[in-house]
A and B are shown apart, each in its own frame.
Chain A
Amino acid sequence: MMVALTQMMKRELTLANRRRADLANPLFFFLIVVALFPIGVTPDLAKLSQMAPGVLWVAALLASLLSLDLLFRHDYEDGSLEQMLLSTVPPQLLVLCKIMSHWLVTGLPLTLLSPLLSVMLALPAGSVPLLMLTLALGTLTLSLLGSVGAALTVGLRKGGLLLTILIMPMFVPVIIFGTSAIQSFNNDMPWIAQLAMLGAFTAGSCVFSPWLAVAALNITVGD
């Protein structure tokens, strides 16, 4: 089993490296949205620091959503996906590998970039570690939940919009708990509960998403 999974991980990461343009896209989107915010809304630091958690979160999620459509698309088009579904190892684990590598090449870089951008929005420096932690969990949850939507829409030629509509409702609680944890922290209020809820969402989607994604892939491929 380990042989197949290491092969899978290696393949996904090499491919991500060779399709670098796809990866740069979300990062630039994130950078531009956050950079334009102070210019477009207000340069007032007090107001900006109030909005900072929400802006960073929304921008990071939309950026990560950009690349979600491609999660299964290349593999669907060249037929590799069929082979994965027929593999000796459970396809759920292979899909989990794909999701994890998607997070490693989009969610993680976005998380690492966020402290730099938080300076632009005058986020209090003390909450930067919490911002990174919540963003790491949030983007991971998006990759996990998003895989189900990506699996359902991979057969459609223009699935991007539908994917967004499918995923967004599932994602509302995550964004609420994520941003409210940082805001509570900034206002010296208890924030552990929100963080715990966010963690619970990540853990739950980690358990269920691969199964749902494979079920969806079976439907799409079997058509």
Chain B
Amino acid sequence: MVELLRAKGLYCERDERVLFDHFDFTVNCGEILHVKGPNGSGKTTLLRRLVGLSWIVEGDLTWHSSLSETGAKLDGHGFWYLAHRPAVTLQQTPLENLAFAIGLHNQKLPEEALWQALEIVGLRGYEDVPAGSLSAGQQRRVSLARLYVAIPNINLWILDEPFTALDVNAVDQLEQRIEAFAEAGGTMIMTSHHGLTHTAVRELHIGASL
């Protein structure tokens, strides 16, 4: 099994509290890693360190060469990162938001592909409505729509609380999408308080031992 990420000796301190220390884990290709822990245990901080946005967490990360040229920091083209802030611009329509998210990966897809992705997440009929007038759950769906667009090279998803604000059906749908992605060989690292039922999920607990 190919090892995608090896994290060694991670250490995080916030506001003079040690969140985790000597924290090691590995992620293999095709695996779903579910990071669990109570509120404030540093889950989001950890994910931000993984994508290379934050350097509060100290320690070494070694990425597989397919994802990173240098090994230490992820290259931009190989992953989706769905952050705590959903990156949905309220003055733009769902269609524009999706096109821009894909544009940042330097890809341009035919408009039908985008319409289709929006239809899957249940935003049919809302494509041209400014995202600001959508509900919180619908805004979440706008940012989730990118996971339903086929872009080659993307083999890693890093999702921070993807189930927030979603209704029961949308949660089911997203779970199915995650399973399909993992079965196709994709790797996923996510935080959530919602338990995944899939068998291949590996759980990683942080903050539990403190």
A45 to B108, CA, bound (A): 57
The residues of A that contact B54 with a CB separation of less than 8 Å are 221-223
Assuming the contacts A79-B86, A79-B87, A82-B85, asked whether A88 and B104 have C-beta atoms less than 8 A apart, the reply is: yes
Interface membership of chain B positions 37-64, coded 1 if the CB is closer than 8 angstroms to chain A and 0 otherwise: 0000000000010011111100000000
Among listed B4-12, B18-26, B27-35, B91-99, interface-contacting one = B91-99
Q: Contact between A15 and B76 (Cβ–Cβ < 8 Å)? A: no
Say yes or no: is B107 at the interface (Cβ < 8 Å to chain A): yes
The residues of A that contact B91 with a CB separation of less than 8 Å are 15, 18-19
Q: Contact between B53 and A86 (Cβ–Cβ < 8 Å)? A: yes
Interface membership of chain B positions 126-149, coded 1 if the CB is closer than 8 angstroms to chain A and 0 otherwise: 000010000000000000000000
Say yes or no: is B100 at the interface (Cβ < 8 Å to chain A): yes
Question: What is the minimal beta-carbon distance from A52 to any residue of chain B, in angstroms?
Answer: 38
Question: What is the minimal beta-carbon distance from A101 to any residue of chain B, in angstroms?
Answer: 14
User: Which one, B85, B87, B100, contacts A7 given CB within 8 A?
Assistant: B100
Number of chain A residues whose Cβ lies closer than 8 Å to a Cβ of chain B: 28
Question: What is the minimal beta-carbon distance from B147 to any residue of chain A, in angstroms?
Answer: 14
The residues of B that contact A47 with a CB separation of less than 8 Å are none
Question: Max chain B CB contacts within 10 Å: which of A3, A14, A80, A83?
Answer: A83
A83 to B143, CA, bound (A): 12
Say yes or no: is A87 at the interface (Cβ < 8 Å to chain B): yes
The residues of B that contact A82 with a CB separation of less than 8 Å are 53, 81, 83, 85, 87
Question: What is the minimal beta-carbon distance from A215 to any residue of chain B, in angstroms?
Answer: 13
Say yes or no: is B166 at the interface (Cβ < 8 Å to chain A): no
The residues of A that contact B199 with a CB separation of less than 8 Å are none
Number of chain B residues whose Cβ lies closer than 8 Å to a Cβ of chain A: 33
Q: Contact between A89 and B106 (Cβ–Cβ < 8 Å)? A: yes
Q: Contact between B92 and A15 (Cβ–Cβ < 8 Å)? A: yes
Q: Contact between B84 and A86 (Cβ–Cβ < 8 Å)? A: no
A18 to B93, CA, bound (A): 11
A94 to B100, CA, bound (A): 12
Assuming the contacts A14-B92, A80-B87, asked whether A8 and B103 have C-beta atoms less than 8 A apart, the reply is: yes
Q: Contact between B86 and A3 (Cβ–Cβ < 8 Å)? A: no
Considering only residues 17-48 of chain A, those with a C-beta below 8 Å from chain B are 18-19
Question: What is the minimal beta-carbon distance from A46 to any residue of chain B, in angstroms?
Answer: 48
Question: Max chain A CB contacts within 10 Å: which of B53, B74, B75?
Answer: B53
User: Which one, B48, B56, B99, B104, contacts A84 given CB within 8 A?
Assistant: B104
User: Which one, A74, A83, A86, A223, contacts B52 given CB within 8 A?
Assistant: A86
Say yes or no: is A188 at the interface (Cβ < 8 Å to chain B): no
Say yes or no: is B190 at the interface (Cβ < 8 Å to chain A): no
The residues of A that contact B53 with a CB separation of less than 8 Å are 82, 85-86, 221-222
A143 to B150, CA, bound (A): 37
A82 to B53, CA, bound (A): 7
Query: In the complex, which residue of chain B has the Cβ closest to the Cβ of A90?
Result: B76
Question: What is the minimal beta-carbon distance from A182 to any residue of chain B, in angstroms?
Answer: 38
Query: In the complex, which residue of chain B has the Cβ closest to the Cβ of A87?
Result: B104
Say yes or no: is B170 at the interface (Cβ < 8 Å to chain A): no
Question: What is the minimal beta-carbon distance from A194 to any residue of chain B, in angstroms?
Answer: 41
A147 to B172, CA, bound (A): 43
Assuming the contacts A7-B99, A79-B84, A79-B87, asked whether A86 and B92 have C-beta atoms less than 8 A apart, the reply is: no
A sample of 10 cross-chain residue pairs with beta-carbon separation below 8 angstroms, ordered by A number, consists of A4-B104, A7-B100, A8-B100, A11-B92, A78-B90, A82-B85, A87-B76, A87-B104, A221-B54, A222-B48
The interface of chain A, by Cβ under 8 A from chain B, is 1, 3-4, 7-8, 11, 14-15, 18-19, 74-75, 77-80, 82-89, 94, 221-223
| Interchain residue pairs A-B with the least CB separation, the first 4 | A79-B85, A7-B103, A79-B87, A87-B104
